[in-house]
């Protein structure tokens, strides 16, 4: 490793990148995350992630690679789960996938909203 070139971090994801990522992942959710005998091969999933990368990069602050997108998706899911868990105050059964993604508590359906 060269001493004069420290590793620099990439810019944070902006709102447009995040919106495109969520839209595309949800569009291809079945193919990317399905379990069981009908699931996609690793090669098919890699192609879908590349397609998503090509959709995100035009609105990106800096070029993103597939690993950046996967990490951002994991972080969004984790943040969403913890937010829904806090709302329910019991961490009960998980909500349907992507139900509360980036939604404010008042935007959630009444079944998952906190009691008044």
* 6-59: pLDDT as tens digits: 888 889 999 999 999 999 999 999 999 988 888 899 999 999 999 999 999 999
pLDDT score of 113: 46
- Is the pTM higher than 0.85? no
Q: Is residue 40 part of a domain?
A: yes
* 14 and 61 Cβ atoms separated by less than 8 Å: yes
Instruction: Tally the domains of the chain.
Output: 1
Structural domain boundaries enclosing 67: 13-85
pLDDT score of 36: 86
pLDDT score of 21: 95
The region, left, alpha or beta by phi > 0 then psi within -120 to 50, assigned to residue 36 is left
* 57-78: pLDDT as tens digits: 999 989 999 999 999 999 999 9
Q: Is residue 18 part of a domain?
A: yes
Q: Is residue 69 part of a domain?
A: yes
pLDDT score of 68: 96
Q: Is residue 49 part of a domain?
A: yes
* 21 and 69 Cβ atoms separated by less than 8 Å: yes
Q: Is residue 8 part of a domain?
A: no
């Amino acid at each position: 490793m060269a001493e004069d070139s420290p590793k620099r971090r990439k810019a944070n994801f902006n709102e447009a990148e995040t919106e495109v990522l969520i839209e595309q992942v949800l569009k291809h959710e079945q193919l990317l995350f399905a379990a069981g005998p009908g699931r996609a091969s690793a090669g098919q999933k890699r192609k879908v992630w590349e397609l998503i990368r090509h959709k995100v990069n035009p609105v990106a602050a800096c070029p993103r690679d597939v690993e950046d997108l996967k990490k951002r998706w994991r972080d969004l899911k984790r943040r969403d789960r913890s937010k829904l868990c806090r709302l329910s105050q019991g961490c009960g059964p998980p909500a349907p996938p992507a139900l509360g993604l980036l939604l404010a508590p008042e935007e959630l359906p009444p079944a998952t909203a906190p009691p008044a």
